[in-house]
Structures are given as C-alpha cells and as structure tokens.
Homo-oligomer: A and B are copies of this chain.
Amino acid sequence: MPKRIAAFGEVMMRLQVPGYDLLSQGNTLKYSFSGTGVNVVSALARYGHQGKLITRLPENALGDAAEAYLRKLWIDTSLVQRHGKYMGLYFLENGFGARPSRVTYTNRLESSFNTAPQDVYDYEALAAEIDALHFCGIALAMNNGVRQHIKALAKAVKQRGGTVIFDCNYRPSLWGDNGYVKAKPHYEEILELSDIVMMNEQDALYTLGMDTTKERREDQLEELLPQVAERYQISVIAGTHRSIHSSNEHSLRGFLLRGGQFTYSDMLTFSVYDRIGAGDAYASGIIHGTLEGFAAEKTVRFAAAAAMLAHTVSGDTPMASEPEVLRAMTASAGDVER
C-alpha cells in the first residue's frame, strides 16, 4: 500500500562539467537539483508512494528552477517553502579511470534551508500529513537551527506513530575538527528516535565510538550493529560494502539487519556511469521493501539492484521504476529492448 513519505533536507544545485573535462578546460555545465532527501523520495515516488519534500528554497529564479525540477522528479512540492535568496551549489568534475571525480562546494550555510528561523515549520501539521520521515547526517551536520528542526520534527512524527528513517551519512568535512566528538550526542539523540537506520560498522566505530577486536569489516559489522539495534531500539539497520576496481567498475554488497538477523545480497559487480546518489537508491530500496513488507532477502536484493541501476544513469537521482529494479534483480546484461 502506497505510503506518504517526506524527506526533510536541503536541495542542492549540481553543476557538472560535461564529459570528462575539468572546470579549467570546459565552458559549459549541466545542471540539475538533488540532495539525499530528493533522491530518496523521488525513488519512492517512482515505486508508487507519495514522495514529499520538506525544505526551503529561495524566492527567485533558482528556486523556481529547483521546484520545477523536483516536480519533474515526481516529488510532491506542496510542503516546500519559498523564502530567502540562496541555495547550496556543488560543482562536479567527472573522473576517469585512475583520475577520481572531484566535487567543489559553494558556501551552503547561507542557504534558505540552512538559515530557516525557529518558527517556520509547523511540526505537528507536517507530521499529520506523512506516514514516514527521512533525513540524514548531512543535514544534521549543518548547524543548531537545522538540528533543532530535525529533532522536533522526528519527535512529532514518532508521537503520531509514524516511521522515522535516518541515514547516518557522516561527512568529515562538514563536522570539522573533532567532528566525531561533536557529532556523537546528536547521532545518539537521533538514533533514539529512529526506526530504520542506514549505517555500517564505520559509523558504529567512529561516530558512536564503539569498540571491537575484529579486523574484517564483515566481522565488525556483525558484532557491532546488533548492539546498536538493541541499544537504540531500531527495527531495521541496513547498508552496503563497496569496493572500487580499475576500469570504472565497482562491486557492492548490501546487508540488512532485521529482527536480529543479517541478510546479504549477492556481491554485484558493474560498470559505473554516475556514482553520486547510488547510496540513496539503496536506502530507497530498503525503505520500500520495509514499508511494503517484502521478505528480508527480497528487500536487500531489491535495494542492491536499485543501487546498481543508479550507477548507470546520469544525475544523482535514481530513475528506475519498480519493474525495472525487479528485472535487474534477475537478469544478466541484456541486448537492446525493442
């Protein structure tokens, strides 16, 4: 049964140098609008849910373009506020083989979203309109204002019986020096409120400061995450392990911890066209499987296939429909479809 799912998060403008040129070589940029929340609710809308975004966009041509773009991504923009003048931007130079991709941010702290004053969101009213709320560690890293909004909104949703979904997504550059120490209390407060959490063993070790004597990441995962699930009463924890090969190929394996049991997808190996946002595709698959009551194995395989497909389309935002993901779960590389 389709659900009403809202993401609370920032919309960024992505400005990508076409092909494999550097910024200092080219003279054109391809632009689009994205963000973790954008990617997740757009994917969920393609799977048949109602995907909403709770955010603030500037009241100018940039905001107009962003809102139109969100609608094109099937996102319901009725909860989007329009105020202020700025939005965050990032420049992307595609890497090739041995040369990694490079992202350059502009100052996002002045954006309409990150400067939203205390009283602009009516948490109760918003909570009444949604069945599930998604947000991530990127928004949590911004400033106290944003953190306050996140916590208040999550509490309101929780109280009304809604589902709270948190993607740990720790970005060192955003938290600065002593970042883990600064981040830990906020992560803990959020985990207390969360039902579905995207994380892996590194979040447990570094952000939550947990310990292990295991060395293999799989062993660390199996030791630490059940402790997290129990401590914070989280029903679903999921994530991926990725390895990067030469020749523009990646391998990815998804895991799902539910009811104390780990389930894994196959290790998928595939050519990569556009890596950004693939983690959000995985998250969307986990959320969809959980909300729709898929079995654990179908859930994790669906999420991994969704992530794989997201590497093959341009832009941050997943574009596959549910039937396309289901086909990718079974099929080998295919010939032209006509």
Contacts and interface: CB of A to CB of B under 8 A. Distances in A.
**Secondary structure class of chain A's binding surface, majority of residues:** loop
Given A24-B64, A313-B25, A337 B273 contact: no
A85 to B, nearest CB: 7
Interface in A90-113: 90-91, 93, 95-107, 110
Contacts of A273: 20, 96-97
Contacts of A328: 98-99
16 contacts: A18-B28, A20-B312, A24-B64, A24-B65, A24-B69, A27-B32, A29-B29, A61-B104, A68-B72, A68-B74, A86-B106, A97-B311, A97-B333, A98-B271, A100-B334, A107-B107
Contacts of A313: 20-22, 25, 96, 99
Given A31-B28, A86-B107, A333 B244 contact: yes
- What is the oligomeric copy number? 6
Contact of A271 (B26, B248, B275): B248
Interface in A143-183: 171, 173
Q: Which of A19, A28, A85 has the most CB of B within 10 A?
A: A28
Interface string A256-300: 000000000000011111011000000000000000000000000
